Amino acid sequence: METLDEISSFTLGHYEQNADAFFKGTRDHDVSQNIHALLSHIQAESSLSILDFGCGPGRDLKTFTELGHHAIGLDGTAQFVEMARSYSGCEVWHQDFLKLDLPTGRFDGVFANATLFHVPSRELPRVLGALHAALKPKGVLFASNPRGNNEEGWNGGRYGAYYALDTWRDLLSAAGFVELEHYYRPAGLPREQQPWLASVWRRTP
């Protein structure tokens, strides 16, 4: 079994080597459904404090900012951090998901779009705990991950864990979150053509 450092290093290395192609390939993806799902559940007024967890090159940071919110990015890939700062104009933290150093009670919402599945299952409870602590009371976590039947391992140079809905619910509930909604993407297709499971959760006090 690979060590956590090896898993992190190899996965981040994959993104470093493919950073430009990843930016070009994902820059125009429409994730407005996911952004709306997060924002619609936050019980706060005016400009919100949002952590884009695994912000990549900064596409969604730019969107949150254009909507009038204060967004901070976080990514473990050094090239993505530089890209995101340049593209969005936002503050971006360079942090490995497995070595987080987050402020307590800082954010109204955490946007984890296509990111948490890279966390090995044995570390996920700790990472979820860190995100829970970084949210304000009743803050909201959005997560979107490729769904599966609880498989875990390497896929195209990246490590991933692919959860069934019931398993994902158990993990988030154990971390102190209450489910607000879930849905599958892309919208409007038969379930077998919807590989993404999106879910929204509220931090319990």
Token pair 């993990």: residue: 171
Q: What is the pLDDT of residue 51?
A: 98
Q: What is the pLDDT of residue 50?
A: 98
How far from each other are the two terminal CA atoms of the chain, in whole angstroms? 37
61 within 8 A of 81, measured Cβ to Cβ: no
CB count in 10 Å sphere of residue 92: 24
Residue 105 Rama label (left phi>0; alpha psi -120 to 50; beta)? left
Q: What is the pLDDT of residue 181?
A: 98
pTM (two decimals): 0.97
Q: What is the pLDDT of residue 27?
A: 85
Q: What is the pLDDT of residue 45?
A: 78
Query: What domains sit in the chain, N to C, each tagged with a CATH number?
Result: 4-203 (3.40.50.150)
What string of pLDDT tens digits covers the 205 residues of the chain?
789 999 999 999 999 999 999 999 898 889 999 999 999 999 987 899 999 999 999 999 999 999 999 999 999 999 999 999 999 999 999 999 999 999 999 999 999 999 999 999 999 999 999 999 999 999 999 999 999 999 999 998 999 999 999 999 999 999 999 999 999 999 999 999 999 999 999 999 8
Q: 34, 93, 33: which is closest to 58 by C-alpha?
A: 93
Q: What is the pLDDT of residue 140?
A: 98
